[in-house]
Structure 1
Amino acid sequence: MTTPPRVTLVHERFTEFAGSEAVVEQLAREWPAAPVLAPIGLPGVMPPDIEPRVTTTALSRLLRGRTYAHLLPVLPAAVRRLPVPPSDVVVASHHAFANQVVHATDAPVVSYVHSPARWAWDPAMRAGEIGGRVGGAGLAAFSALYRPADVRAAARVHTLLGNSTAVVARIRDWWQQPATVVHPPVDTESYTPDPDVPREEFFLLAGRLVAYKRPDLAVRAAEAAGVPLVVAGEGRARSELEALAGPHTRFVGRVDDAELRRLFRSCTALLMPGVEDFGIVPVEAQACGTPVVAVDAGGTQDTVVPGVTGELVPPVDARDEVATWAAALRDFDPARYDATAIRRHAESFSRAAFRDRMREVVAEVLAG
């Protein structure tokens, strides 16, 4: 009988359960004996069967609710000091600091990169996410100090994986390192077509209402095109969006998973006007047999097949984007798309597919 490898999992923070935590969950299920280490975290974020395996540091006591921005300067050192046990391989879930675990272990590190820290490398992202001149200047200064350490750690990682083609390109451009695409897991078991749910005539925007996701573009385009739009989600941009909205836009707030599935199954198409590193939501919609209209940039270039599972709208100058998107909505014909083909495409992003690929990667590393 083959002895299972000693795998240790490293994540940066357990302050909420979102896409990267879903990745860690599947890694933890693939290697059920693996300890899960992170510098900071809150109790109860991970599923109950995985939570006992999670170890965080004393920095967790300094969290302000789910807020951790004040801890950014000390998180790289905290990862470098994580108590990594003897391991055959360490699998890191990286947003900004997890690659620093190369300083805490002699084992080969496989880094699953959700993205290199865009706030450190992309000034436009920094400007959009940090409020106030002082906060922006502080993050810019920290970014300049951190980038060399970020590059050095990436160079010591044994195997770099990116969650999309766009992220692999960033790894190449910012870290000067090669990487391989491994798409993240999507819950295609819960998100399924339902022939008993009738299709209705409305486009759907679903997710956090924050500037970089471009909900403003979806609202402006729907109003210009004169087509119904349902906005599901909450966020700091909601009041601005409500001011932009006219008679064609309806806000339903944050919805639970069951209602989100119903919206996916009943809408004409999901809209994705913002650039995402990968983007779980459009794959969930496709798993329900629903086409997606998305910007032709970022993760949707991997997940949306034009003419088969939806359409990609080319990026254009700001002065033309509302007209371009309005035309795409007016011209959209749902009869062109086959729900069975859309669903089949989504299944290639399943949890099982992700775990199979990660198991193969780790086996390749251990084989030398």
Structure 2
Amino acid sequence: MSLKPLRVAIVHDWLVTYAGAERVLREMLTLYPQADLFAVVDFLSDADRERLLGKQAQTTFIQNLPWARKKYRGYLPLMPLAIEQLDLSAYDLVLSSSHAVAKGVLTGPDQLHICYCYTPIRYAWDLQHQYLRESGLKGWKGALARLMLHYIRLWDARTALGVDHFVADSAYIARRVRKVYRREAAVIYPPVAVDSFPLREDKEDFYLAASRLVPYKRLDLIVAAFRSLPDKRLVLIGDGPEMDKIRALAGANVEILGYQPDAVLRDHLQRARALIFAAEEDFGILPVEAQACGTPVIAYGRGGVRETVLEGQTGVFFEEQSAEAIVAAVQGFEALPTFSPAACRANAEGFSEERFRRDFAALVSARWREFQEGARCHQMVDSGGQ
């Protein structure tokens, strides 16, 4: 067995903010501090870079294109070409952190490539039609978008063959990986900073919704539902392009706070009677953070939330995205016995950062041992045939 240090490359799609995928990236960098970091673009602020242990990514030519800082997503058609230009030939182990193009890096037979997959490119596969509707692209622009997404699908499916092992962030995404790539994926849930969300046993008489105000989050349905529940109070935290629509829908019992810092969100998560969550998410960190605070969740019963909320123990589900379903869910929630804050907290602790580091390190170590053993077997066969 070689005694040389393991040379590790970590490839992330793009670095422009610190969100859920970057939390996973941080844990990867913590596990493999010797790793070199790569991304399509890197425009992180100094504060966010400190969260990633000060790492600066090696980037692609898109970094230097006009308006890339603000309009990097507009260069999606060029990203397959860009990611393939990253030279990773000097590395033994390649870890891609991918929801778009990172998994498409080129690797050779003497390199192990493990992809942590947040999702196959959503707007190119089963959510294409929803994406086109919400973007308002019609006529020749719509036709061009369809052609571009067709090209992205072909590239995405082909490059899945270059990944040795997939790891999905939920069983829900593992099913999508199987459907799109015809590959099996291990499941390791993303890290949630549960220790940053202390348990609070006493709750106040209001419901909480929090998110960026974009269409797929379906905050409009939650606000509309509370028009039919005038005796219930809703607090909404978040900002985004749907703010005007949300304000127009809100009744007197809905308090819209707009964007708030983490401390304010945490305080409301601790005090709320329940979090209401209407999006279909691949995993969904916020419901876990709420449970860490001892707060149950009322959620749309599709996606990763089915794996993070225990029905009847730490929350309840509604089965369709409609205001009527949310109204019925709130009323059903209030008819149930009081949910145990301690049970909510105990469930959340199963998604901790420590658990992610332990499980991910164990998986990588096992796959690396298998890879080395396979390489030795091939060398013995080759030597015997000479």
Q: TM-score, normalization: structure 1? A: 0.93
1:50 aligns with 2:49: no
Q: Deviations over 1:159-218 (max 9, x none)?
A: 1111112111111111111112111111112112135xx521111110101110111111
Counterpart of 1:157 in structure 2: which amino acid? V
Please state how far the C-alpha of 1:105 moved relative to its aligned partner: 7.9
Q: Is the 8 A contact 1:38 1:55 kept in 2?
A: yes
Shift of residue 59, structure 1, vs aligned partner: 1.9
Task: Go from structure 1 to structure 2 and tell me whether the alpha carbon gap of 1:223 and 1:102 turns closer, same or farther (over 3 Å shift).
Answer: same
| Contact 2:49/2:56, CA 8 A, preserved across alignment | no
Larger Cα-atom Rg: 2
Pairing 1:300-315 to 2, within 5 Å after superposition: 300-315=305-320
Contact kept, 8 Å, 2:60 with 2:85, in 1: the verdict is no
The match for 1:40 is 41
* Residue 279 (structure 2) pairs with residue 290 (structure 1): no
Residues 322 and 70 (structure 1 numbering): CA distance in 2 closer, same or farther, change over 3 Å?
closer
Deviations 1:35-67 (A, max 9, x none): 111121114342266334422234212244332
Counterparts of 1:247 and 1:48 in 2: how far apart (Å)?
39
Distance 1:137 1:216 in 2: 29
**Where does residue 345 of structure 1 map in the other structure?**
347
How big is the shift at 1:246? 1.0
Please tell me whether the aligned partners of residues 307 and 336 of structure 1 are also in contact (alpha carbons under 8 angstroms).
no
Q: Once the 2 structures are TM-superposed, how far is the Cα of residue 3 of structure 1 from its aligned partner?
A: 6.2
Q: CA deviation at 1:269?
A: 0.4
Partner of 1:143: 149
Does 2:219 correspond to 1:215? yes
Q: In structure 2, what is the equivalent of residue 7 of structure 1?
A: 8
Alignment of 1:109 with 2:80, yes or no, is no
Aligned residue identity for 2:248: A
What is residue 132 of structure 2 aligned with on the other side?
127
Checking the alignment, whether the CA contact within 8 Å between 1:208 and 1:234 is kept in structure 2 is: yes
State how 1:137-286 maps to structure 2 within 5 Å.
137-195=143-201, 198-226=202-230, 227-286=232-291
Post-superposition offset of 1:233: 0.2
Unaligned runs of 5+ in 2: 371-386
Q: Aligned to 1:336, what secondary structure does the other structure show?
A: coil
Alpha-carbon distance change, 40 to 312 in structure 1, aligned in 2, over 3 angstroms: same
Deviation at 1:106, TM superposition (A): 4.6
Q: Which has the larger displacement, 186-195 or 333-342? A: 333-342
Shift of 1:152: 1.4
Shift of 1:335: 4.8
How many angstroms apart in 1 are the aligned matches of 2:196 and 2:164? 35
**Aligned partner of 2:313: which letter?**
V
Quote the offset at 1:222 in angstroms. Answer: 1.6
Deviation at 1:313, TM superposition (A): 1.1
Question: Which SS does the other structure have where 2:9 is aligned?
Answer: strand
Identical amino acids, percent of aligned pairs: 33
Contact 1:81 1:104 in 2 (8 A): no
Q: Deviations over 1:249-307 (max 9, x none)?
A: 11001111111111001111001111011111111111111100001100101111001
Counterpart position of 2:381: none
Contact 2:107–2:113 (CA under 8 A) maintained in structure 1? no
Counterpart of 1:204, as a letter, is: L
Q: Deviations over 1:75-115 (max 9, x none)?
A: 11111111325222111011111111135785111101111
Q: d(CA) in 1 for partners of 2:77 and 2:109?
A: 22
**What is the Cα-based RMSD across aligned positions, in Å?**
2.0
Gap regions ≥5 residues in structure 1: none
Task: Say whether the 8 Å CA contact 1:130–1:136 is kept in structure 2.
Answer: no
SS state at 1:276 partner? coil
The alpha-carbon distance between structure 1 residues 167 and 288, as it changes in their structure 2 partners (threshold 3 A), is same
1:114-149 Cα offsets, whole Å, 9 max, x none, are 110011102233225524325543332111012122
Do 1:84 and 1:104's aligned partners in 2 also have CA atoms closer than 8 Å?
A: no
Distance 1:185 1:12, change over 3 A: same
